[in-house]
Amino acid sequence: MKNYTLKLNSEYAGIFGAYWMFYGIISSFCSAYLLAIGYTNAEIGIVLAVASVVSVFMQPALANLADRHEKLGAMGVAELSTICMMVLEVGLFIINKKTLALWVIYMLIMAWELALQPLFNSLARRLAESGAKINFGICRAGGSLAYAIFTSIMGTFVEKFGVIILPGTGIALLALLLAILLLTSRTLKRATKAHALEASEEGEVLMDEEITEEIDLKMFVKRNKLFILLSVFIMILFFQNTITNNFMFQIVDGVGGTSEDMGRIFGVMAALEIPGLFFFNNIHKKFSCSTLLKFASVAFVGKVLTLYIANSVFMVYAAHFFQLFSFSIFLAGIVQFINEIMERGEAVRGQAVYTTAITIGAVFANIVGGIILDISGPKTMLLISLILTVIGTIGVFLLIDKIDKKV
């Protein structure tokens, strides 16, 4: 199984790489693209908000489709979704001007792309069922590396050739993603057969992992009131994350930068996430999750504060060095924290509550951010982000230890 382990890990990293490069096209360059063809900041915010809401409903729909159709599975759903997005992306390429049709198509592509994130994350377990040892952290970090390199290069191309190149590039990336998915599906089938053969020869019995039932929402809330409150503060804390990801073009433009600068900043940001993903387990051996979450929250404040006072592109770059200590540490930390403080059945619901809170915050941030940009500009948007980040950080400090001590 060693050869299959290496092959599946490489292909899984390739899936993440192609996916996150496409994410760069459709999400990171969203403002640059839609502004260039005539949409206002408020209209862009609504596109982003509606896409977030639609993705919330699409995620369980895709999961149910994968569960109910055994032959299709997660890989098949991912392949069909990629084909559907390619069709939509072709529509985007053909229209390429401000119309209601383009607005709807762009929203659907973004919603589908967001809905695929948890599906791709869940592939780790499906691949591991073949007997291969899957290192999710390294594979996911491979996606961040691909995104970092791609957005840096893409920013230069957009500055030189214009946003007209984005839809065509998106189609090419989806074709690449589909090819890797088909290759991985074939490798998975072969690895599964090889594992079954090895197990039968050794007299082993392949058994499913222990299944733990998920508790209902009412019981979860009763048991985890402080965690629900913490999720509200996390929602507030992540307001700035949505703002800086989706309206970076306006922030950079406000200090005299270009789309090329924006692409490079996204590249730096993604590259600085990699160490946290790679070495989180080592860091966690020395520091508790509650300590790491508090530290990451303060790093978020530092990032937004630096962006607010920035008067040059260099300062915007400098602000994103806080990414080394903020996003990846918080993301890995909160997932681990939930697993530590909750039973397995509760943890399933806990992850869903935390993800939903961030999604709701993203909807609010996209709408409010777009309106503020049109009315008052990026500085006011960043000031509000800073205030909310401080409030979210205070909430984390007040609650995280109380929840931890309940264990």
Average pLDDT over residues 208-226: 67
- Whether 211 has a pLDDT exceeding 70, the answer reads no
The pTM (predicted TM-score) of the whole model is 0.79
Backbone angles phi, psi at 196, to 5 degrees: -65, -40
> What single letter denotes the amino acid at residue 329?
I
Question: Angle at CA 33, nearest 5°, toward 30 and 39?
Answer: 95
Read off the pLDDT of residues 81-135 as tens digits, 9 standing for 90 and up: 999 999 999 999 999 889 999 999 999 999 999 888 878 877 877 788 788 888 8
Tokens matching residue 112: 């589908």
**What is the rounded distance in angstroms from the CA atom of residue 348 to the CA atom of residue 346?**
5
Question: Angle at CA 175, nearest 5°, toward 172 and 176?
Answer: 90
Read off the pLDDT of residues 46-82 as tens digits, 9 standing for 90 and up: 998 999 889 888 887 887 787 677 677 888 989 999 9
> What single letter denotes the amino acid at residue 347?
A
- Whether 239 has a pLDDT exceeding 70, the answer reads yes
Average pLDDT over residues 148-167: 91
Using a pLDDT cut of 70, give the percent of the chain over it: 92
- Of 132-141, 276-285, 367-376, the range with the highest mean pLDDT is 367-376
- Whether 332 has a pLDDT exceeding 50, the answer reads yes
- Where do the domains of the chain lie, and which CATH numbers do they carry? 2-201 (1.20.1250.20), 219-405 (1.20.1250.20)
Contact 297, 397 (CB under 8 A): yes
**What is the rounded distance in angstroms from the CA atom of residue 23 to the CA atom of residue 245?**
11
Contact 391, 236 (CB under 8 A): yes
Using a pLDDT cut of 90, give the percent of the chain over it: 50
Tokens matching residue 392: 């979210």
Average pLDDT over residues 256-274: 90
Give the pLDDT score at 168: 94
Tokens matching residue 143: 């996606």
Average pLDDT over residues 8-15: 92
